[in-house]
Amino acid sequence: MLLTTTFDEIFKSKFLENLTAVSITDVVLALLAAFILGVFIYFVYKKTFQGVIYSEPFNMSLLLLTMLTTFIILAVTSNIVLSLGMVGALSIVRFRTAIKDPLDLVFLFWAIGGGIVLGAGLFPLALIGSILIGLVLIFKGRGTNHTPYMVICNLDDVSAEEKVWGILNENAGKIKLKSKTHSADNLELIFELQLKDTNALFISAISKISGVSNIQLVSYNGDYVA
């Protein structure tokens, strides 16, 4: 009798009902639409990026975040009990990655918002909203995407710093001083910059400046020096 009761409880469980709460067709369509939207966000971010250091992992996370949010919303909308549990589970999540550019935060909200809308089945809203947001970002223009570089320059004579700045300003589209270290007989300057073209002959010009002991030009992707 006890064994029969146990099996009865198993078959009365709502687990099997949850398997059909969301149809496979809806899941496939929603995730496919989320993938397409994520790819669109990916290319818009890459085309309109205006910072000095472009981060490929961050851009890729926008695509994955769109799909991740979609399937979470699909699960939440299929079961009210699961939705309450999901709210409690997500409330303990803490994101500590610093967002340096406010427009990067816009892209994060776009990816999350698009995933929520698609998960709720509001495909026209996601389509129209994303097209309008993308057009605004593209036509407004956030800048051009050039290969970022770092220049490490060691000076024996601090008076040569002004000449170094002059040559860099002539050849770099964007330039930012990241570090300046001064010791008893040496000055080290580290710059982030984007070149106007692929010509790096200006490095030779800087090396010929009196007081420059060493100079290096390295490509940089935001995570490591290449």
Q: Which pLDDT band holds residue 1 (cuts at 50, 70, 90)?
A: very low
Q: What is the dihedral of CA 7, 8, 12, 15, to 10 degrees?
A: 0
Least-confidence region, from 11-20, 23-32, 83-92, 168-177: 11-20
Check residue 11 and give its pLDDT: 46
Give residue 28's Cα distance to chain centre.
25
Structural domains of the chain in order of their starting residue, each with its CATH number: 2-140 (no CATH), 148-219 (3.30.70.260)
If DSSP states are collapsed to H, E and C, what string results for 160-222? HHHHHHHHHHHHEEEEEEEEEEECCCCEEEEEEEEECCCCCCHHHHHHCCCCEEEEEEEEECC
| Nearest residue to 73 via CA among 31, 104, 110, 37 | 31
| Nearest residue to 78 via CA among 42, 39, 119 | 119
Q: Determine which helix (DSSP H) or strand (DSSP E) holds 141, and give its type and residue range.
A: none
Q: Which pLDDT band holds residue 2 (cuts at 50, 70, 90)?
A: very low
Residue 152: other Cβ atoms inside 10 A: 16
pTM to 2 decimal places = 0.54
CB 179 within 8 A of CB 188: yes
Check residue 40 and give its pLDDT: 93
Q: Could you give the C-alpha distances from 68 to 31, 125, 178, in angstroms and in order? A: 9, 19, 35
Distance CA 151, CA 168 (A): 9
